[in-house]
Structures are given as C-alpha cells and as structure tokens.
C-alpha cells in the first residue's frame, strides 16, 4: 500500500507543471505570477531564477506582481528573483523592502535580494563574505531587530 501511495505522489509531482522549478518555460512562469494560488505564484517566481539569471521579460511582470502581492513568502520569492536579475528597475523596489521590512522573514528575503542584486551587477564578488544580519545595522540601513 505504501509503495502505491508513494508512486502516486511521485507521479502527481512529476505531472505538476511547476514541479521542477527550472523546467517551466519562462512565459508559462510569468503567466503563473497571476495565479490565484499563492504556492503557484511562489513556484513561478522561484522558477524564473536560474543559474543563468532571470529572463529580462520577467522583470516587468515581477515588478507588477509585487505591487499587489499580499502573501509574504511570495513577496520574498519575487524580491529574491528580482535581485538575481540585476535589473536597474529592481533596485528601488529591493531598497524599499530592505528599509521597510518589519519581520525577520521579510528582512531575510529582502537582504538576500539585495545581496543577489549586488552580485549580479558585479558590485560585489560572488564569494563575498557578508556579515551576519547584513545589511541591517550598517550605515544607511535600519538597525537589527531585537533578538526574540
């Protein structure tokens, strides 16, 4: 019985159009950014982020999606993907997220987006050692959140 259930789950996951992040055609992932299901939107944002960067035509769609996105984990995925893009239009949105993030998760996602953006634009090397909690507590950035 367990083998049958496991086989069914594997088949279901393989049949899912977003089961493997990087096998989804970019145009399909861009369209999925408007899906009513937040998990599908998050998977779409994640699938647009590859080792080769982010398709340039995805950047406007990600920026547009962020304007109305209410689900924190989806906002985080969209921000990180924008960071990986290195697109100049993404920087103000990332900076705003870094400056205004109030909870630990959003701060982590915003700082990761900023790190990726700075690496993608070659402002920092890919192997740069970021201090714990960066950029919070650095000049020009909010202080770290109190320990919980």
Distance CA 148, CA 128 (A): 28
* Nearest one of 52, 111, 109, 62 to 82, comparing CA atoms: 62
Cα 102-47-59 angle, rounded to 5 deg: 70
pLDDT in tens, 113-139: 999 999 999 999 999 999 988 999 999
pTM: 0.82
Report the pLDDT value the prediction gives residue 51, as an integer from 0 to 100.
86
Task: Flag whether 12 is in a domain.
Answer: no
Identify which has the larger pLDDT, 5 or 144: 144
Task: Flag whether 6 is in a domain.
Answer: no
Task: Flag whether 5 is in a domain.
Answer: no
Distance CA 142, CA 106 (A): 13
- Say how many domains are in the chain: 1
Task: Flag whether 131 is in a domain.
Answer: yes
Task: Flag whether 3 is in a domain.
Answer: no
Query: At which residue do the structure tokens 């367990």 appear?
Result: 2
Q: Please give the structure tokens belonging to residue 54.
A: 């982010």
* 29 has pLDDT over 60: yes
Contact 93, 82 (CB under 8 A): yes
- Domain containing 43 equals 20-148
Task: Flag whether 113 is in a domain.
Answer: yes
Is-cis flag, bond preceding 33, omega within 30? no
Task: Flag whether 7 is in a domain.
Answer: no
CA distances from 47 to 33, 53, 60, 122, 147 (A): 11, 11, 16, 23, 33
Task: Flag whether 137 is in a domain.
Answer: yes
Distance CA 133, CA 126 (A): 18
Q: What percent of the chain shows pLDDT beyond 70?
A: 84
The predicted model gives 102-114 an average pLDDT of: 95
Q: What percent of the chain shows pLDDT beyond 90?
A: 74
H-helix segments, 1-140:
2-15, 26-32, 38-47, 58-68, 72-85, 90-100, 104-120
């Amino acid at each position: 019985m367990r083998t049958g259930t496991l086989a069914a789950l594997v088949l279901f996951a393989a049949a899912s159009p977003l089961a493997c992040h990087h096998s989804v055609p970019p145009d399909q992932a861009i369209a999925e950014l408007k899906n009513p299901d937040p998990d599908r939107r998050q998977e779409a944002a994640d699938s647009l982020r590859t080792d080769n960067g982010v398709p340039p035509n995805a950047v406007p769609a990600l920026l547009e999606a962020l304007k109305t996105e209410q689900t924190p984990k989806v906002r985080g995925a969209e921000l990180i993907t924008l960071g990986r893009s290195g697109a100049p239009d993404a920087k103000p949105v990332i900076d705003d997220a870094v400056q205004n993030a109030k909870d630990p998760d959003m701060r982590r996602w915003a700082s990761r987006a900023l790190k990726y953006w700075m690496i993608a634009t070659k402002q920092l090397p890919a192997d740069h050692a970021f201090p714990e909690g960066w950029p919070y507590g650095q000049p020009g950035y909010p202080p770290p959140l109190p320990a919980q």
